[in-house]
């Protein structure tokens, strides 16, 4: 049973969401502050987090940034602030999805199901991913190309793992840095990301200047190339 952490300071709203999650087969832990949420996360393993932004004391934004320093756990935001600017900010700090509070709670349930289904398919299908001349074994932390083991650093493997295990998602440089390096993002970190991506592409891409595996999302970050996503999805279906 998937275990969900619900962080919502409005007890009426919390009870309503909890009811829908439980009826949908989830196990739910409810807390009313970000601080209590951090305590829970240190004690238990959760499949995902449903988070309100307007929390007392520590905000939801600060909560996400702390979580992203050590985990890529899916975080679904339940917020009344759904402007384009707010959504961009949420994506940049590491949100997986966001639901307007005016919507029915079943929207949260559906979002969680889709996110967790995609995530579990990629993790449970097989530990070795293959496409074209590449073979990636994340358990052994090895990458082969044309039957030769590539000399990838741990950080390069972690970047590749993050993209492959989340094939339908684009990651900002800030998100990559928070999850892979586990440190606060700075201007210096931007160059670190650029260097690692360039070196990784030089090792795994057939044509590094025209990458097909790691695509650039203009003015945002990176994502897995669509041709690779299609091959991974096809391998899952078969």
Question: Can you give the CATH number for the domain in which 201 is found?
Answer: 1.10.10.10
Q: Residue 101: which domain range? A: 3-110
CATH code (residue 43): 3.40.50.2300
Tell me the pLDDT tens digit for each residue of 205-219: 999 999 999 999 988
Kindly report which listed range (17-31, 32-46, 69-83, 118-132) carries the lowest average pLDDT score: 118-132
**pLDDT over 70, % of the chain:** 84
Q: Of the residues 55, 79, 110, which one is the last residue of a structural domain?
A: 110
CA 83 – CA 163 distance, rounded (Å): 27
Tell me, yes or no, whether 49 lies in a domain.
Answer: yes
Q: Kindly tell me if the per-residue pLDDT of 8 is higher than 70.
A: yes
Q: Are residues 102 and 179 in the same domain?
A: no
If asked whether residues 105 and 129 sit together in one domain, one would say: no
State the pLDDT at residue 195: 95
Confidence band for 66, pLDDT divided at 50, 70 and 90: confident
* Strands lying side by side in the sheet with 3-7: 27-31, 3-7, 48-51, 75-79, 97-100
Q: How many domains does the chain have?
A: 2
Structure tokens at 79: 């917020």
- CA distances from residue 202 to 86, 160, 220 in whole angstroms, order as listed: 35, 13, 21
Residue 9 lies in a domain: yes
67 found inside a domain:
yes
pLDDT of residue 125: 53
Same domain, 132 and 214: yes
Q: Is residue 115 part of a domain?
A: no
């Amino acid at each position: 049973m998937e275990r969900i952490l619900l962080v919502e300071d409005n007890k009426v709203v919390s009870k309503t969401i909890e009811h829908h999650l439980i009826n949908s087969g989830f196990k739910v832990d409810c807390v009313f502050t970000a601080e209590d949420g951090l305590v829970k996360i240190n004690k238990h393993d959760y499949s995902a987090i449903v988070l309100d932004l307007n929390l007392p004391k520590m905000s939801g934004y600060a909560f996400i940034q702390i979580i992203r320093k050590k985990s890529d756990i899916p975080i679904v935001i339940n917020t009344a602030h759904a402007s384009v600017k707010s959504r961009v900010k949420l994506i940049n700090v590491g949100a997986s999805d966001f639901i307007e509070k005016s919507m029915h709670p079943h929207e949260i349930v559906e979002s969680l199901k889709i996110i967790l289904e995609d995530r579990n398919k990629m993790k449970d299908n097989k530990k070795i991913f293959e496409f074209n001349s590449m073979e990636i074994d994340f358990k052994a932390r090895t990458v082969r190309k044309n039957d030769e083991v590539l000399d990838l650093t741990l950080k390069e493997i972690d970047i590749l793992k993050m993209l492959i295990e989340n094939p339908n998602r684009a990651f900002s440089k800030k998100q990559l840095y928070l999850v892979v390096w586990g440190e606060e993002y700075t201007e210096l970190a931007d160059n670190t990301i650029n260097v690692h991506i360039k070196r990784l592409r030089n090792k795994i891409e057939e044509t590094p200047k025209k990458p097909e595996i790691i695509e650039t999302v203009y003015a945002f970050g990176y994502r897995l190339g669509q041709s690779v996503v299609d091959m991974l999805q096809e391998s899952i279906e078969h």
